Amino acid sequence: MNKYLLILGQSSALARQELAAVLSSSNGQIELTGTNFAVISANQTPQELINILGGTIKVGQYIQTIKNLSDLNTSLWYDILKNNLKPTSKNCFGFSLYNDSNNNYQNIKKVAFQLKKILREKKYKSRLVTGQEAVLSSVIVAKNKLLDHELLIIKNHEEYLLGITRTVQDFVSYGFRDMARPYRDNRSGMLPPKVARMLVNLAGYDTNKSLLDPFCGSGTILQEAMLLGYKKIYGSDISSQAVEETKQNLDWLSKNFALKADLKIKVIDVKNIDQNFETNSIDLIVSEPFMGDARFISQQRSSHNLLTIQKDLQNLYQTAFEKFQKILSPAGQIIFIFPVFNIAGQDIYTLDKKNISRLGFDYQLKEDIIYSREDQKVKRQITVWKFK
Ligand SMILES: C[S@@+](CC[C@H](N)C(=O)[O-])C[C@H]1O[C@@H](n2cnc3c(N)ncnc32)[C@H](O)[C@@H]1O
């Protein structure tokens, strides 16, 4: 097993659960986590991990834990780097300090400059890459060729974890498939591909399973499932336009990423989903459902109308879960988003755990996950369900 130090992205609660689910499918495990990092043991290579995980932005080799930052001196740093130094070409190196003070950042920078001097004495050409902040972004790491040369320093309580970056998230590919696909919903608040991928991964990583999104919209979840390697992919939506968009997006994806899957995308009202799929035939249902008219919701100043919307949506979700109960396989899982509206600082939830549980489902999360970005009126509560 390899021991890695992972840096998690902004929605770290979601990223942590994604990681735990993916690792549990391959006998790996999380040894330690903080808000924005995890130490794990895993069988995969760093590249294999980053290719799967949507919520992890850097994968580093774990090196050691030090008690004091002053233990990080030039000789330790040199030892960490030495196997990857090139004798003839320029060696870019840098570091990222997480969860610590600017003062300590400045102190490490001084050590880094001393190291540069030592490298020169040892006849290595080098360049120290520093950014505006204590943390170098994945973009800076990739563009400055810092893979194997960026030291990760993470303050965890009174200790410091050290690692060396092996790979970073492929931000170019994420941006490309988000922006360049034929149909994309330009309304603010659309589901980013990274989040769609994390939803799929909350089920663990077993691409032999069949996967259905019964509110597929323009197909973001199905797209990420296909990229992950799922082969039995089903999508449906009440809108024929949405179905057409999904088909075109997946067709575009297949061509651009050379992928093949058994795709079935159809117009279906979720209320009739059980008439379109055989009993017990679906292993995973992963969906961001209809969440109400976003523009109407954002204009509401009182909770009165929102409570009506809440009731209507709860009825729709309840019906959906009644139908899911029929088509889901006995060991199947449901990953489902329930919107949360905010009015005058108060959160209005659409998830009623008791009602869903009465249908025979068990809520799987130990820690609730709410995903939102600052400007959003509607937050997303991400849930995972299995049969009791
Ligand atoms: C929030 S969008 C899903 C967006 C999708 N996650 C994506 O990335 O494109 C919700 C979708 O639910 C569909 N919808 C609304 N009511 C439905 C119903 N009763 N049955 C099936 N689909 C429905 C809408 O047409 C819409 O495309």
Residue identifier of the C-alpha nearest atom 6 of ligand 1: 288
pLDDT of residue 206: 97
Q: What is the pLDDT of residue 331?
A: 97
Position 376 confidence tier, pLDDT thresholds 50, 70, 90: confident
Whether residues 261 and 359 fall in one domain = yes
Q: What is the pLDDT of residue 189?
A: 60
Is the domain of 125 the same as that of 198?
no
The percent of residues in the chain predicted with pLDDT above 90, rounded, is 87
Instruction: Using the predicted structure, report yes or no on whether residue 350 has a pLDDT greater than 80.
Output: yes
Q: Of 117, 139, 169, which marks where a domain is finished?
A: 169
In the prediction, which pLDDT does 99 show? 97
Whether residue 33 sits in one domain with residue 70: yes
Task: Say which residues have a Cβ less than 8 Å from residue 313's Cβ, sequence separation at least 6.
Answer: 290, 291, 292, 339, 350
Q: Are residues 243 and 365 in the same domain?
A: yes
What pLDDT digit, counting tens, does each position of 42-75 carry?
A: 999 999 999 999 999 999 999 999 999 999 999 9
Q: Across residues 202-215, what is the average pLDDT? A: 98
Q: Is 372 part of any domain?
A: yes
What's the average model confidence in pLDDT over 24-30? 95
Q: How far apart are the first and last CA of the chain?
A: 33
Q: Which atom of ligand 1 is nearest to the CA of 218?
A: 9
Helix (H/G/I), strand (E/B), else coil: 152: strand
Residue 175 lies in a domain: no
Q: With 70 as the cut, is the pLDDT of residue 188 above it?
A: no
Whether residue 16 is contained in a domain is answered as yes
Find the CATH number of the domain harbouring 313: 3.40.50.150
Least confident of 188-192, 207-211, 248-252, 266-270: 188-192
Cα(378) to ligand 1 centroid in Å equals 16
Residue nearest to atom 1 of ligand 1 (CA): 290
Residue 174 lies in a domain: no
353 CA from centroid of ligand 1 (Å) = 22
Burial of residue 250 (number of CB atoms within 10 Å: 0-12, 13-18, 19+): buried
Contact yes or no for 11/193 (Cβ under 8 A): no
| Å from CA of 164 to ligand 1 middle | 42
Specify the residue with its C-alpha closest to ligand 1, atom 17.
238
What pLDDT score was predicted for residue 177?
87
Same domain, 134 and 232: no
Statement to judge: residues 272 and 164 lie in one domain = no
State the pLDDT confidence band at 108, using cuts at 50, 70 and 90. very high
Range of the domain at 123: 2-169
The pLDDT of 105-129, averaged and rounded, is 97
Q: Using alpha carbons, select from 21, 24, 64, 28 the residue that is nearest to residue 46.
A: 28
Ligand 1 closest atom vs CA 269: 20
Distance 16 CA to ligand 1 centre (A): 27
Question: Where is pLDDT greater, at 347 or 159?
Answer: 159
| The model's pTM | 0.95
Specify which of 2-16, 177-191, 373-387 reaches the highest per-range mean pLDDT. 2-16
Tally of CB atoms within 10 A around 103 = 7
Instruction: Give the side-chain half-sphere CA count within 13 A for 165.
Output: 32
- Average pLDDT over all residues of the chain: 94
CA of 273 to the centre of ligand 1 (A): 13
CA distance 281 to 262: 15
In this structure, the answer to whether residues 304 and 350 fall within a common structural domain is: yes
Total structural domains within the chain:
2
Instruction: Please report the atom of ligand 1 found closest to the CA of residue 213.
Output: 6
Q: Using one digit for the tens of pLDDT, what is the confidence trace for 264-312?
A: 999 999 999 999 999 999 999 999 999 988 777 777 766 778 888 899 9
Residue 324 in domain:
yes
Q: Is residue 309 part of a domain?
A: yes
- pLDDT at residue 374 tops 80: no
Indicate the residue among 110, 139, 169 that finishes a domain: 169
What pLDDT is attached to residue 305?
A: 82
Q: Are residues 264 and 119 in the same domain?
A: no
Task: Give the confidence band of 24 by pLDDT, cuts at 50, 70, 90.
Answer: very high
Instruction: Find the CATH number of the domain harbouring 131.
Output: 3.30.2130.30
pLDDT confidence of residue 186: 62
Whole-number pLDDT of residue 97: 98
Interhelix angle 193-201/171-179, rounded to 10 degrees, is 110
- Ligand 1 cavity residues, CB under 6 Å: 185, 191, 214-215, 217-221, 237-239, 242, 269-270, 288-291
> Rounded to the nearest whole angstrom, what is the distance from the C-alpha of residue 295 to the centroid of ligand 1?
16
CA 219 to ligand 1 centroid distance, Å: 10
Tell whether 163 and 184 lie within a shared domain.
no
CA–CA separation, 58 and 37 (whole Å): 9
Q: How many angstroms separate the alpha carbon of residue 292 from the centre of ligand 1?
A: 10
Residue 255 inside a domain? The answer is yes
- The whole-number pLDDT of residue 362 equals 98
Ligand 1 midpoint to CA 47 (Å):
33
List beta partners, residue 234. 212, 264
pLDDT for the residue 184: 83
Do 255 and 369 belong together in one domain?
yes
- Ligand 1 pocket check: which of 186, 199, 200, 237 to mutate, most ligand atoms within 8 Å of Cβ? 237
Instruction: Judge whether 107 lies within some domain.
Output: yes
> Could you give the CA distance from residue 93 to residue 151 in angstroms, rounded to a whole number?
8
Question: Ligand 1, residues 211, 215, 350, 378: which to mutate, most atoms within 8 A of Cβ?
Answer: 215
- Pick the last residue of a domain from 117, 147, 169: 169
Beta-carbon contacts of residue 30 (< 8 Å; ≥ 6 apart): 16, 19, 20, 23, 38, 39, 40
155 & 82 share domain: yes
Token pair for 300: 């509401």
Reduced to 3 states, what is the DSSP secondary structure of residue 286?
strand
Mean pLDDT, residues 82-101 taken together: 95
Cα separations (Å) of 361 from 170, 206, 322, 371, 388?
Answer: 36, 21, 10, 22, 5
14 band by pLDDT with thresholds 50, 70 and 90? very high
Average pLDDT of 234-259?
A: 96
**Both 350 and 235 in a single domain?**
yes
